[in-house]
Chains A and B, each alone.
Chain A
Amino acid sequence: MSPGHYVALAVILFVIGAVGVLIRRNALVIFMCIELMLNAVNLAFVAFARMHGQLDGQVVAFFVMVVAAAEVVVGLAILMAIFRARRSASVDDASLLKY
């Protein structure tokens, strides 16, 4: 399999994730879709690193993983707090901060 296939897979995964973020209401699902987008990007990074024969992309993939882990911690905590307060995980319900 050439690296081009991996890039194509990454694009498909990213689009799935992006569409999920835009159309789903459940905060947990949105969260998972974000993870999906991040991992799609990781996959693209690694594939491009392989194509160009450089290590930079692989290094960045590790950074992304660390950032994603941190994001999961903070994001899940916020999610828990909102759920406890409102008994709902719908992002459309939490829309008080507006004009």
Chain B
Amino acid sequence: MTGNLVVAAANVATEPTLPAVGVQRAAWLLLVFPLAGAAVLLLGGRRTNKWGHIVGVAMPLAAFVYGVIAFAAMLGYPADQRSRELTLYTWIHVARFNVPVGLRIDQLSICFVLLITGVGSLIHIFAVGYMSHDPERRRFFGYMNLFVASMLLLVLADNYLALYVGWEGVGLTSYLLIGFWQYKPAAAVAAKKAFVANRVGDLGMSIAIMLMFATFGSVTFSGVFGQVGHASQGVTTALGLLLLLGACGKSAQLPLQSWLLDAMEGPTPVSALIHAATMVTAGVYLIVRSGPIFDLSPNARLLVTIVGAATLLFGAIISCAKDDIKKALAGSTMSQIGYMMLAAGLGPRGYAFAIGLLLAHGFFKAGLFLGAGSIKHEMNDEVDMRRFGGLRTVMPITFATFGIGYLAIIGVPPFSGFFAKDTVIDAAFDTGSTTGWVLGLAALIGAGITAFYMTRVMYMTFAGERRWDEGVHPHEVPPIMTSPMILLAIGSLGFGAFETLGDRLPDFLGPVIGYVPAEPALFTPAGIAALVLIAAGIVLGWAMYGRRPVPVTAPHGGPLTVAARKELYGNAVNESLLMRPGQWLTRLSVYFDNRGVDGLVNTVAATVGGTSGRARRAQTGFVRSYALSMFVGAVLLVGALLLVRI
């Protein structure tokens, strides 16, 4: 086992990275397209209001077209020559510190490029309809394009510093977009919360980069991975833990999970693009990309799996009790990314499955969120599922696409979640020993809970009697919104089978992750157990929400329901452990400043003032008293002189 890992790491370290040739030499276009879109929309001002959304959609689409061309070019190379680098320019060159900015186009980054630009373009198209009544639609598209550019830089960078720029860029755009309706206090607070939680992760990320430079004198992937084998165990573990902290912040994993549910205050296309399909997967990308570091640190990897397993259950339990459809989906995102982290923590044999689930999740979760967005759009911005019901007949296309996403996420064969998630569960059990059993059972239980809460969402939204507010008349949304949903549903339907059957994705990713897994068997014992649990989850969901009418006001519920409604006290923990002590510290500092520092200064000033006030009384205005004091003074002076003389 250990020998296997070392070989795998060595493979990655020595894997030659060739310079980009031909059409891939224009890979910078991927960044330039969305950046140009953002520049035109954000700097152009109101003049671009009329046609801004067209630019906003065209730019990611152009990047997608280029991404497909670059992908086709890559497929033309032999499997071991697909990793290409394109050096753009030297960013920093000071003494030993040398940071060339370059793009790495390999199997891993091209997967992300296609996901980001492909799913991103569909969501942009959806947003044209969704945001059509918003006076600030142009600014929205500007931010969205900026996000796409940052995310592409994050996945394409060939060194950690440029990756960090993209990393911060997505953090910034996420902040801007969550708080897009900043006149709503909840949105403004949610944006701030997301930003602060991300900063905690970014801190880990930046210290990791500093440590890399201090240890290896380099921050490029090739430089770091080439020398990481010579580093001490302590350094690799520290690097692994710091990178994990960064990944937890971006991917909303425990203990930095609390921002994701609040982030649903942003417009729904933002939730679909940033908080479901792409940005939150950046942590998984970081861990898979930093594989050579994690391969050398079993402890860090174990912690990654623990974080993943804990988060997948945590998110799933929260989802079970949320009545807000977007928050239920957000909890499910957290949970699915937990699966990805779990797989990524299993090492090279899990990387392909993590990426496979990530890509499949990109399709079905974006589809689910767009469905939720179109429902919200038609229900006058209502998101409480207790006020939905019976939407199946009035919004048939939304129902069908959402339903396919539902079947995909819970993992019913032959939808994509079945293939993507079962491989993860199998890989978890394959770890062996107690760890494998614990991780595998967590993943299995998570699958069952997923089936339950998604069934709950389906029944509360689409079935049962109509519990709508008065004056709400939902209809099917226009084609510009349904067409992206249909395309994403097709992806949810077929992508899992496409990537898993015949080992297409693992074989494709093999050279870059340094491991080619054996053909995964369909319907393994674990897979069958998962299917049984999924069926049980569906039946339970039907029994609780399909068979009985859903009450419009939420029932009191048991202690677990109450806890899940409160997001398992994640916010309470943050408040009592971080916020309150912070506030106490502030108050203490203010008190010390007022009483201590200011007190000292004020006392001195008061003493001087009081003394001079009393001394002033000597100025009586009587000339004769002045004369007397002069006389006495003169006598004393003369007396003193005489004394000294004698």
Q: Which of A25, A94, A98 has the most CB of B within 10 A?
A: A98
Q: Is the CB of B622 within 8 A of A92?
A: yes
Given contacts A21-B627, A97-B621, 17 further A-B contacts (CB under 8 A): A21-B631, A22-B624, A22-B627, A22-B631, A23-B624, A91-B624, A92-B623, A95-B621, A96-B621, A98-B619, A98-B620, A98-B621, A99-B616, A99-B617, A99-B618, A99-B619, A99-B620
Nearest B-chain residue to A18, judged by Cβ: B631
CA distance A69 to B627 in the complex (A): 21
Q: Which of A22, A25, A98, A99 contacts B628 (CB 8 A)?
A: A22
Q: Is the CB of A94 within 8 A of B623?
A: yes
Q: Which of A22, A91, A99 has the most CB of B within 10 A?
A: A99
Contact with B along A15-45 (1 / 0, CB 8 A): 0001001110100001000000000000000
CA distance A23 to B628 in the complex (A): 10
Given contacts A18-B631, A22-B631, whether A92 and B619 have CB atoms under 8 Å apart is: no
Q: Which residues does chain B contribute within 8 Å of A94, judged by CB atoms?
A: 623
CA distance A25 to B627 in the complex (A): 12
Interface positions, chain B 585-623, Cβ under 8 Å from A, are: 616-623
CA distance A23 to B627 in the complex (A): 10
Q: Which of A18, A23, A91, A99 contacts B623 (CB 8 A)?
A: A91
CA distance A93 to B619 in the complex (A): 15
Q: Which residues does chain B contribute within 8 Å of A96, judged by CB atoms?
A: 621
Q: A49 → chain B, closest Cβ, in Å?
A: 20
Can you report 27 A-B residue pairs in the complex whose CB atoms are below 8 A from each other? A18-B631, A21-B624, A21-B627, A21-B631, A22-B624, A22-B627, A22-B628, A22-B631, A23-B624, A30-B623, A30-B624, A91-B622, A91-B623, A91-B624, A92-B623, A92-B624, A95-B621, A96-B621, A98-B619, A98-B620, A98-B621, A99-B616, A99-B617, A99-B618, A99-B619, A99-B620, A99-B621
Interface positions, chain A 56-99, Cβ under 8 Å from B, are: 91-92, 94-99
Top 10 A-B pairs, shortest CB-CB distance: A98-B621, A95-B621, A99-B619, A99-B616, A91-B623, A98-B619, A95-B622, A21-B627, A97-B621, A22-B628
Q: B110 → chain A, closest Cβ, in Å?
A: 88
Binding site for B on A (CB under 8 A): 18, 21-23, 25, 30, 91-92, 94-99
Q: B639 → chain A, closest Cβ, in Å?
A: 15
CA distance A90 to B622 in the complex (A): 10
Nearest B-chain residue to A96, judged by Cβ: B621
Q: Which residues does chain B contribute within 8 Å of A23, judged by CB atoms?
A: 624
Q: A25 → chain B, closest Cβ, in Å?
A: 8
Nearest B-chain residue to A23, judged by Cβ: B624
Q: Which residues does chain B contribute within 8 Å of A97, judged by CB atoms?
A: 621
CA distance A23 to B620 in the complex (A): 16
Contact residue range for chain B?
Answer: 10 to 19
Binding site for A on B (CB under 8 A): 616-624, 627-628, 631
CA distance A59 to B595 in the complex (A): 66
Q: Which residues does chain B contribute within 8 Å of A18, judged by CB atoms?
A: 631
CA distance A99 to B619 in the complex (A): 5
Q: A56 → chain B, closest Cβ, in Å?
A: 19
Q: Which residues does chain B contribute within 8 Å of A95, judged by CB atoms?
A: 620-623
Q: Which residues does chain A contribute within 8 Å of B619, judged by CB atoms?
A: 98-99
Nearest B-chain residue to A19, judged by Cβ: B631
Nearest B-chain residue to A91, judged by Cβ: B623
CA distance A4 to B526 in the complex (A): 132
Nearest B-chain residue to A25, judged by Cβ: B624
Q: A14 → chain B, closest Cβ, in Å?
A: 11
Q: Which residues does chain A contribute within 8 Å of B631, judged by CB atoms?
A: 18, 21-22
Q: Which residues does chain A contribute within 8 Å of B618, judged by CB atoms?
A: 99
Q: Which residues does chain B contribute within 8 Å of A92, judged by CB atoms?
A: 622-624
Q: B633 → chain A, closest Cβ, in Å?
A: 13
Q: A95 → chain B, closest Cβ, in Å?
A: 3
Q: A37 → chain B, closest Cβ, in Å?
A: 10
CA distance A83 to B617 in the complex (A): 27
CA distance A94 to B619 in the complex (A): 13
Q: Which residues does chain B contribute within 8 Å of A22, judged by CB atoms?
A: 624, 627-628, 631
Q: Which residues does chain A contribute within 8 Å of B623, judged by CB atoms?
A: 30, 91-92, 94-95
CA distance A95 to B622 in the complex (A): 5
CA distance A18 to B619 in the complex (A): 21
Q: B488 → chain A, closest Cβ, in Å?
A: 87
Q: B164 → chain A, closest Cβ, in Å?
A: 68
Nearest B-chain residue to A97, judged by Cβ: B621
Q: B214 → chain A, closest Cβ, in Å?
A: 68
CA distance A22 to B620 in the complex (A): 15
Q: A99 → chain B, closest Cβ, in Å?
A: 5
CA distance A94 to B622 in the complex (A): 8
CA distance A29 to B520 in the complex (A): 125
Q: B631 → chain A, closest Cβ, in Å?
A: 6
Nearest A-chain residue to B618, judged by Cβ: A99
Q: Which residues does chain B contribute within 8 Å of A25, judged by CB atoms?
A: 624
Q: Which of B618, B622, B623 has the most CB of A within 10 A?
A: B623
Q: A40 → chain B, closest Cβ, in Å?
A: 14
CA distance A58 to B60 in the complex (A): 108
Q: Which residues does chain A contribute within 8 Å of B620, judged by CB atoms?
A: 95, 98-99
Q: Which of B616, B620, B622, B624 has the most CB of A within 10 A?
A: B624
Q: A19 → chain B, closest Cβ, in Å?
A: 10
CA distance A25 to B623 in the complex (A): 9
Nearest A-chain residue to B623, judged by Cβ: A91
CA distance A44 to B622 in the complex (A): 30
Q: Which residues does chain A contribute within 8 Å of B622, judged by CB atoms?
A: 91-92, 95
Q: A82 → chain B, closest Cβ, in Å?
A: 11
CA distance A22 to B631 in the complex (A): 9
Q: A13 → chain B, closest Cβ, in Å?
A: 16
CA distance A92 to B626 in the complex (A): 12
Q: Which residues does chain A contribute within 8 Å of B617, judged by CB atoms?
A: 99
Q: Which residues does chain A contribute within 8 Å of B628, judged by CB atoms?
A: 22
CA distance A30 to B623 in the complex (A): 10
CA distance A96 to B622 in the complex (A): 9
CA distance A23 to B624 in the complex (A): 8
Nearest A-chain residue to B615, judged by Cβ: A99
Nearest A-chain residue to B628, judged by Cβ: A22
CA distance A99 to B617 in the complex (A): 6
CA distance A99 to B625 in the complex (A): 14
Q: B82 → chain A, closest Cβ, in Å?
A: 93
Q: A29 → chain B, closest Cβ, in Å?
A: 12
CA distance A18 to B630 in the complex (A): 11
Q: Which residues does chain A contribute within 8 Å of B627, judged by CB atoms?
A: 21-22
